[in-house]
Amino acid sequence: MLYCCNTEEECDYANTQQGSPLPATCTVTNPPESPVEDYVNCVNGYVATNQSMSCKEACKNKVLFCCVGGYEQGSYFDACSNLGFRPGFTGKLYNYSCYGVYACLNATIQTVKNGCYGKRACYNANIQTVDNGCIGQYSCEKAGKVGGDGILIDSCNGRGACFGATISVMTRSCNSEVAACYKQGVAGNMIDSCNGRRACDTMDEHADLTDSCNGYRACYKQGVAGVMTDSCNAQNACDRMATHSDMTGSCNAGFACYKQKIAGNMRDACNDIYACREMDDHADMTGSCNATKACYKQGVVTTDMLNCCNTELECDFANTQQEPP
């Protein structure tokens, strides 16, 4: 049976093993047409197969909302187009893409779907995929110019989000009204992370992030980081924290791990206000420093910490180089 029996009761009770064959002819003799998702393939602002036609014109001809500029101070400015002084857009544009003054100008993005909305959104960007992302003025401007795979799904939405960021794979991350992941350093994969006003702003190089750095200025200017899971989720959590290894379920309170120094692996640790704030070098921590200002300004820790320093001020200013904590 090929494209047969597609009307009501057409082949009801038919059974070729019992002598009740299929109809001699089928109502439907041709395969149904597959829906085609239309797009415009651009090279430097012009249609790849017709360099005399601008992508703006091609979008209009295909009734796609893409390559739509905007007005500023009474003048109209294009999106996507090659303006002579700036190259145009290169990549595939689907519906609802590249809208706003200079949006997608001088950008190379393999695929844009429902993304790059706003003044200078995706301007001068180098990203592999944008899917429902980079929505907001200056969002993703210059993103990926210094490296990164650049796959954005439901990410980088908000004014200045991911501006100048080095991007890997992002899912539901860097979404805030102001500057989430602004000029963020080299990033691993990110899932449900850095969703807060200025979260991960100018954060340094890090490995994968999952459910982490969600709060106002969470991980702001944080140093080089290992894998982070369920960590640094509160206002100013891990703000300017120095280099550290992997983190799981840690530093989840206001100012937790604020300016903390170089750290080993952390698991279920430093989960209260000021906990581990300005703490010095230490080895691995598990279930420790979970109280108000526990480990606040603690000195060098040379051995692992296990279920330790969990009452208020218990290890405040302790320093293993000078005396037992």
Tokens 């924290």 found at: 241
β-partners of residue 97 are: 66, 115
User: Measured between alpha carbons, how far is 232 from 211 in angstroms, rounded to an integer?
Assistant: 9
DSSP β-ladder status, 169-171 and 40-43? unpaired
pTM of the model: 0.80
Distances (CA, A) of 266 to 117, 120, 286, 304: 39, 40, 6, 10
β-partners of residue 305 are: 285
DSSP β-ladder status, 151-153 and 126-131? parallel
**Exposure string for 271-304, b = 16+ CB within 10 A, e = fewer:** bbbbbbbbbbbbebbbbbbbbebbbbbbbebeee
Q: Which among 242, 314, 324 is positioned nearest to 279, based on CA atoms?
A: 242
Tell me what pLDDT residue 3 has: 43
Tell me what pLDDT residue 100 has: 95
Tell me what pLDDT residue 245 has: 84
**pLDDT tens, N- to C-terminus, the chain (325 residues):** 444 555 555 555 555 455 545 455 544 444 445 445 699 999 999 999 999 999 999 999 999 999 999 998 999 999 998 877 789 999 999 999 999 999 999 999 999 999 999 999 999 999 999 999 999 999 999 998 766 568 999 999 999 999 998 878 899 999 998 889 898 887 778 999 999 999 988 888 878 899 999 999 888 888 888 888 999 898 988 888 888 888 899 889 888 888 888 888 889 988 988 888 887 787 888 998 999 988 888 877 767 888 988 988 888 777 765 444 4
Tell me what pLDDT residue 30 has: 46
Q: Which helix (DSSP H) or strand (DSSP E) does residue 61 occupy?
A: helix 55-61
How many CB atoms are located within 10 Å of the residue 177 CB?
A: 14
DSSP-derived letter for residue 187 is: B
Burial of 88 (0-12, 13-18, 19+ CB in 10 A): buried
User: Measured between alpha carbons, how far is 228 from 269 in angstroms, rounded to an integer?
Assistant: 13
**Residues 105-131 pLDDT 10s:** 999 999 999 999 999 999 999 999 999
